[in-house]
């Protein structure tokens, strides 16, 4: 597998609020952006999974806000799948401001693995190839991107 680069983005104007900082709810959207990009780079887009009948709704999620980000800040978002067991997986995220390498936000999201009707599925049994794919990504840390 070729190296997976950390996701990069700029804070958009519409993502800020009247306090002049990124609204807290948007970090959960960025975690989603980062995870989708991670999967895409690893060779299995989430769209492809949904088309196979695999859906991954969120069971729980949390974030800790260490420092705010502001309009037009460039950030890097690292993702690492720390746990996977055929039924669900956990991904940890770090949002790092690029100009000073400040860790601004950390987060954790737990995903269930279900079919289109929301019933749990067991990847090792129902989709062994996807199960191997997930197993190969455990604790894989996306790489930093120093240059945009």
Active site residues: 17
- Tell me whether residue 119 or residue 125 sits nearer to a copy of itself (CB atom): 119
Within 113-142, which residues bind a copy of itself (CB under 8 A)? 118
26 binds a copy of itself (CB under 8 A): yes
- What the block records as the tokens of 29 is 């959207």
Q: Show the binding pattern over residues 77-116: x = contacts a copy of itself (CB under 8 A), - = does not.
A: ----------------------------------------
Query: What are the structure tokens assigned to 119, written together?
Result: 């019933």
Closest CA to 123 of 88, 86, 81, 89: 86
* 62: contact with a copy of itself by CB under 8 A: yes
d(CA 2, CA 45): 15
72 lies in the binding site for a copy of itself (CB under 8 A): yes
């Amino acid at each position: 597998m070729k190296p997976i680069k950390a996701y990069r983005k700029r804070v958009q104007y519409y993502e800020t609020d009247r306090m002049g900082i990124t609204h807290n709810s948007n970090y959960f959207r960025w975690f989603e952006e980062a995870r989708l990009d991670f999967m895409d780079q690893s060779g299995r887009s989430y769209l492809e999974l949904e088309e196979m009948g695999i859906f991954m709704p969120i069971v729980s999620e949390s974030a800790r806000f260490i420092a705010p980000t502001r309009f037009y800040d460039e950030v890097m978002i690292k993702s690492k799948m720390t746990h996977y067991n055929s039924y669900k997986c956990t991904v940890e995220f770090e949002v790092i401001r690029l100009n000073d390498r400040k860790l601004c936000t950390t987060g954790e999201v737990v995903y269930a693995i279900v079919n289109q009707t929301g019933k749990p599925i067991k990847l090792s049994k129902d989709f062994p190839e996807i199960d191997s794919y997930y197993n190969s990504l455990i604790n894989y840390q996306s790489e930093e991107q120093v240059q945009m």
